[in-house]
Amino acid sequence: MARIVISGTGVFTPPFSISNEELVLSFNTFVQNFNKEHHEEIASGACQALAESSAEFIERASGIKSRFVMDREGVLDPEVMCPQLPKRDVEERSIQCEISVAAAKEALQRAGKNAEDIDAVIVSCSNMERPYPAIAVEVQEALGISGFAFDMNIACSSATFGIQTAVDSIFRGNARAILMVNPEICSAHLNFRDRDSHFIFGDVCTAMIIEQEEYCSKKDVFEIVGTKLATKYSTNIYNGFGFLNRTRPGQGTEKERLFVQEGRKVFKEVIPIATEVIRNHLTEHNIAPADLKRVWLHQANLNMNQLICKKLLGTEITEDVTPTILDTYANTASAGSIICFHQHHEDFREHDLGVICSFGAGYSVGNIIVRRICL
């Protein structure tokens, strides 16, 4: 069977960054204003006072120090606490298309490809700004790519599920080279008034070129040795936003239509699922965990990654074996492990092995085994 390879990656990083200290100042101002405004209800027990946050709490709980966002002012305004992204005319490129094109151009350049070399576009991310026409078709049009395009969504595992979907399409002969893009504007689905989660997400877009070995124009690439996906239903990570919301007037709050998480339950339940999927997948390919040079893990929580590494590799997390970008990018949903791969693979030599793994809402786990090869 012909080998299928990753020949190029790209990352679009938003122009604005917010530190923990800045985010906490905004959040605590909101809390103080709320508690002052509702002091009588709080005193009578009809309403509960809100608790303030701290930069130390955020870093201890998650490993996050800052995050990139598409808009700073709206997020940091205690009266708004939401990114302000102006509506664009139908004739204009959508914001997700715009950042997808930026990431895609870098991936194409790194792969030594032009638009005419690509047969399909997959846009796979946790939220789409519209149901149709597909963002992927818009990206296809913007880049001048022929063939076909479609959107897909499996939350934080959208990128790894997108990789397997691309691999399957190439294997079946439906495409020679595919552009897979992950435009994650996570700040738009985050509740910045929720102390337990207001710090979690940042914005970014990643892109990847996946293609047949014989069609590849680059000499040093990563062979996709195997892919493995798994899902298990859970509402411990939940977002209730959808087209049926307007049919239920007065039912549900804005909070229920944003990101909601039972963090402790997720921590307890996802770690063993992810670890088992990685371990079983490696066993299927006769690969020992110790054979891996690097593990590019999903960037949701540093403590989760610590435990997965300890269970899988028997070691603490180190930047060399399991790099992290949480400190500067925060959780970027499906894009996190791809950013890690993009930034930390140049030192791989021929035959070195690695794993790209995601895990999150669904629950969903996607695991990709890769090997550096020279064509």
pLDDT tens track for 143-194: 999 999 999 999 999 999 999 999 999 999 999 999 999 999 999 999 999 9
Query: What pLDDT score was predicted for residue 263?
Result: 87
CATH of 222-374, one of 3.30.590.20, 3.40.50.1470, 3.40.47.10, 3.30.565.10: 3.40.47.10
Distance CA 232, CA 290 (A): 28
Task: Write the pLDDT tens digit of every residue in 10-35.
Answer: 999 999 999 999 999 999 999 999 99
| CB 157, CB 126: distance < 8 Å | no
DSSP designation for 318: -
> Structural domain boundaries of the chain?
222-374
Query: What pLDDT score was predicted for residue 348?
Result: 97
Q: Which residues are part of the catalytic machinery?
A: 156
Note every long-range contact of 76-80, with CB atoms under 8 Å and residues 24 or more positions apart, other chains counting: 76/18, 76/22, 76/23, 76/25, 76/26, 77/26, 78/26, 78/27, 78/29, 78/30, 78/33
Using the predicted structure, report yes or no on whether residue 253 has a pLDDT greater than 80: no
| CA atoms within 13 A of residue 144's CA, in its CB half-sphere | 7
Where residue 251 falls among pLDDT bands split at 50, 70, 90?
low
Percent of the chain clearing pLDDT 90 (strictly above): 89
| CB 362, CB 234: distance < 8 Å | yes
Where residue 319 falls among pLDDT bands split at 50, 70, 90?
confident
Query: What pLDDT score was predicted for residue 272?
Result: 94
Where residue 244 falls among pLDDT bands split at 50, 70, 90?
confident
Query: What pLDDT score was predicted for residue 1?
Result: 64
Task: Write the pLDDT tens digit of every residue in 107-143.
Answer: 999 999 999 999 999 999 999 999 999 999 999 999 9
